[in-house]
């Protein structure tokens, strides 16, 4: 299709948004784009914002390819239609709704509540912003069949999103995800969306759920005596203008911590995120103000949650008393080691417990699980797959904990999504426990490396925006799939795992085996020296991600810096060899 054909098609589509079915402000904005900005018009209308397996996520604005009350409305009506089919025998269908601090999140949440109500559902709408994991908890606690949260997680301020959950409190998985997509795609006219349902179908919820949820987290405590000994341990916490502002301090206080230090400027919920470039705890700059506060106050631990408080970034003091950032794999490893150690010490390992991690998360977790004789499941990237394993094991085995390299962690079974509120509580407890042994979390991490080996991981994200960017990302995947490297950094590629084909290829033997996981557009290359390179397009952002994992032995923790530097160089060489930089 030529550029002129695309523009003609886009203009025809945009004209439909000038009808009386759309509000005045929307019509005026569409008219402006038609008359003044063809490039923005094309980006806004060249496709429909896809309701994918993770819901919606996109830039806010007018148009079919933007987050607005009409794209949210279509998604909600499609979900409603599917719920009515799936739960047709129930006398009442119940849904819960939460939202984060982003611009328009409350507007979208109230619009969705009105649509669910218009479909005859009982709706539980949080009174104000609440963390995503609390939405997961509320679905289970209130006996809902589904729920949604309005959030774009850690994306830049111009984004918003919509995530759908099932009755187990986990994000929708097959077959429900694809079935919901089908229902959404069937809606061809905005008049099919039942906006403005009866308000009596909507119940406002809030503090009562907060208390029950945080009490449940407190009950996960494995070492209350460690907290009692270190109740005055200094903890800096920032919600990065997001939803953790109330519940993280609340749960830390319930756990027994008395010295929680705030970053006042970032305690203000604000969808513009005025004190940070990006509200992503994976990016070091997001924690700058909190780290400065730790330096001023002599704090032992820094924690920062993203806008919907499902992920947390951690900073600790190293052996030189400097405040340094941990990456997601390091924080996950510390948390899992703490859980395994205390479960064993407390006599809770009975032989029917397990862990779960994603395929791109450090193999250190799997090695620790093996040492403690606890099974560890590998799943695709996305916490919904961890939740699915928990659901499959209900009544058969007990979930200890799990996580992913992108700063998301979970323990216990009453939430079915990554939970930064819970993670803050347990990481703080792990720090108190380490302190009883005259160690920092950093010292604990070095002990883990000394015992299990030094694992080093790195992530390279390549952003490609717009229609052309999406095509370029797909071309990169096609090239790696059609012409895989035979060597990487001088080491032979011994295995190729293609999760799209669900096949694992043994290069030396020339054989292939089935991968027992759902299809996903992911490639992994394993080399003779044990390096693991994973490639996947992001499902929520215009990015392609490259994950690197390397390992070496660490017989003496005093050699950590030298060994760590060598692994850094190895990753750099891999990146150069793959022509990524």
**C-alpha gyration radius of the chain:** 24
Neighbouring CB atoms inside 10 A of 548's CB total 23
Whole-angstrom distance, CA of residue 479 vs CA of residue 495: 17
Taking the C-alpha atoms of 79, 465, 407 and 454 in order, what is their torsion angle to the nearest 10 degrees? 140
Whole-angstrom distance, CA of residue 354 vs CA of residue 342: 14
Whole-angstrom distance, CA of residue 581 vs CA of residue 573: 10
**CA geometry: angle at 39 spanning 36 and 42, to 5°?**
105
For the chain, domains (ranges, CATH) are: 47-205 (3.40.120.10), 230-452 (3.40.120.10), 454-577 (3.30.310)
- Sorted by sequence, the CB contacts under 8 Å of residue 85 that are 6+ apart come out as none
Whole-angstrom distance, CA of residue 544 vs CA of residue 554: 32
- Sorted by sequence, the CB contacts under 8 Å of residue 47 that are 6+ apart come out as 64, 65, 467
Residues with catalytic annotation? 153
Structure tokens at 261: 């230090």
Of 316, 442, 384, give the one whose Cα is nearest residue 163. Answer: 384
Can you say how many angstroms the Cα of residue 238 is from the centroid of all Cα atoms in its chain?
Answer: 18
Tell me which H or E stretch contains 471. helix 466-482
pTM of the model: 0.93
Of 360, 357, 380, give the one whose Cα is nearest residue 520. Answer: 380
DSSP 468: H
Q: Where are the alpha helices (DSSP H) in 230-352?
A: 244-255, 288-297, 328-345
For residue 90, count CB atoms less than 10 angstroms from its CB and return exposed for 0-12, middle for 13-18, buried for 19 or more: exposed
Structure tokens at 256: 């027994």
The dihedral sign for the CA sequence 167, 168, 171, 176: negative
DSSP 171: B
Whether 271 and 102 have beta carbons less than 8 Å apart is answered as yes
Whether 267 and 247 have beta carbons less than 8 Å apart is answered as no
Whole-angstrom distance, CA of residue 8 vs CA of residue 2: 10
pLDDT of residue 87: 98
Sheet holding 398-404, edge to edge: 376-379, 353-358, 398-404, 408-411
Tell me which H or E stretch contains 205. strand 202-205
pLDDT of residue 353: 98
Beta strand extents in 390-489 (DSSP E only): 398-404, 408-411, 454-463, 487-488
**CA geometry: angle at 356 spanning 354 and 360, to 5°?**
150
Of 418, 424, 398, give the one whose Cα is nearest residue 343. Answer: 398
Whether 549 and 455 have beta carbons less than 8 Å apart is answered as yes
Tell me which H or E stretch contains 38. helix 38-45
- Sorted by sequence, the CB contacts under 8 Å of residue 304 that are 6+ apart come out as 237, 238, 239, 240, 281, 286, 287, 290, 312, 313
Tell me which H or E stretch contains 494. strand 491-498
- Which parts of the chain sit beneath pLDDT 70? 1-3, 539-541
Whole-angstrom distance, CA of residue 26 vs CA of residue 38: 17
Q: Which residue has the tokens 């992108």?
A: 406
Whole-angstrom distance, CA of residue 560 vs CA of residue 564: 6
What is 115-128 written as a DSSP string?
HHHHTT-EEEEESS
Tell me if residue 572 falls in helix, strand or coil. Answer: helix
Residue 253 Cα distances to 3, 46, 85, angstroms: 59, 50, 44
Of 421, 376, 398, give the one whose Cα is nearest residue 138. Answer: 421
Whether 364 and 329 have beta carbons less than 8 Å apart is answered as yes
* Mean confidence (pLDDT) of the chain: 95
Q: Which residue has the tokens 């919907």?
A: 308
pLDDT of residue 5: 77
Taking the C-alpha atoms of 9, 42, 476 and 408 in order, what is their torsion angle to the nearest 10 degrees? -120
């Amino acid at each position: 299709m030529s550029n002129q054909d695309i523009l003609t098609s886009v203009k025809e589509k945009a004209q439909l948004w000038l009808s009386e079915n759309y509000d005045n402000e929307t019509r005026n904005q569409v008219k402006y784009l038609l008359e003044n900005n063809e490039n923005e018009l094309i980006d806004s209308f060249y496709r429909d914002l896809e309701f994918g397996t993770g819901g919606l996520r996109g830039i806010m604005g007018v148009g079919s390819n933007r987050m607005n009350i009409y794209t949210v409305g279509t998604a909600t009506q499609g979900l409603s239609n599917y719920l009515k089919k799936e739960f047709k025998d129930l006398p009442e269908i119940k849904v819960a709704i939460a939202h984060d601090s982003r611009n328009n999140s409350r507007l979208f949440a109230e619009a969705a509540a009105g649509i669910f109500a218009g479909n005859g559902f009982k709706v539980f709408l949080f009174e104000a912003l609440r963390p995503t994991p609390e939405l997961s908890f509320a679905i289970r606690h209130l006996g809902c069949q589904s729920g949604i949260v309005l959030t774009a997680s850690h994306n830049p301020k111009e984004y918003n999103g919509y995530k759908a959950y099932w009755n187990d409190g986990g994000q929708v998985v097959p077959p429900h995800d694809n079935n919901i997509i089908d229902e959404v795609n069937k809606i061809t006219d905005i008049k099919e969306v039942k906006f403005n349902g009866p308000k009596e179908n909507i119940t406002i919820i809030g503090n009562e759920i907060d208390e029950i949820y945080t009490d449940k987290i407190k009950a996960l405590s494995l070492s209350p005596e460690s907290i009692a000994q270190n109740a005055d341990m200094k903890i800096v916490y920032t919600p990065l203008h997001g939803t953790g502002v109330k519940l993280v301090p609340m749960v830390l206080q319930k756990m027994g911590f008395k010295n929680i230090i705030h970053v006042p400027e970032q305690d203000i919920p604000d969808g513009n995120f005025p004190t940070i470039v990006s509200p992503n705890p994976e990016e070091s700059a997001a924690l700058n103000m909190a780290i400065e506060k730790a330096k001023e106050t002599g704090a032992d631990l820094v924690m920062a949650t993203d806008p919907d408080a499902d992920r947390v970034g951690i900073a600790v003091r190293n052996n030189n008393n400097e405040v340094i950032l941990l990456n997601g794999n390091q924080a996950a490893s510390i948390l899992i080691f703490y859980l395994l150690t205390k479960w064993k010490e407390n006599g809770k390992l009975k032989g029917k417990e397990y862990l779960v991690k994603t395929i791109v998360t450090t193999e250190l977790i799997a090695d620790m699980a093996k040492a403690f004789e606890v099974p560890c499941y590998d799943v695709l990237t996305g916490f919904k797959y961890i939740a699915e394993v928990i659901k499959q094991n209900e009544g058969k085995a007990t979930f200890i904990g799990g996580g992913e390299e992108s700063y998301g962690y979970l323990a216990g079974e009453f939430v079915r999504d990554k939970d930064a509120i819970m993670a803050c509580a347990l990481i703080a407890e792990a720090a108190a426990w380490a302190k009883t042994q005259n160690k920092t979390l950093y010292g604990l991490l070095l002990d883990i490396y000394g015992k299990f080996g030094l694992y080093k991981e790195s992530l390279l994200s390549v952003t490609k925006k717009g229609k052309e960017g999406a095509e370029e990302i797909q071309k990169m995947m096609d090239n790696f799939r059609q012409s895989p490297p035979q060597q990487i950094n001088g080491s032979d590629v011994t295995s190729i795992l293609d999760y799209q084909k669900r096949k694992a290829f043994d290069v030396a033997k020339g054989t292939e085996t089935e991968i027992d996981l759902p299809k996903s557009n992911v490639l992994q290359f394993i080399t003779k020296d044990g390096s693991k390179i994973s490639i996947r397009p992001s499902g929520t952002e215009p990015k392609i991600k490259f994950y690197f994992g390397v390992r070496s032995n660490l017989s003496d923790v005093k050699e950590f810096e030298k060994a760590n530097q060598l692994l850094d160089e190895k990753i750099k060489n891999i990146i150069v060899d793959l022509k990524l930089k």
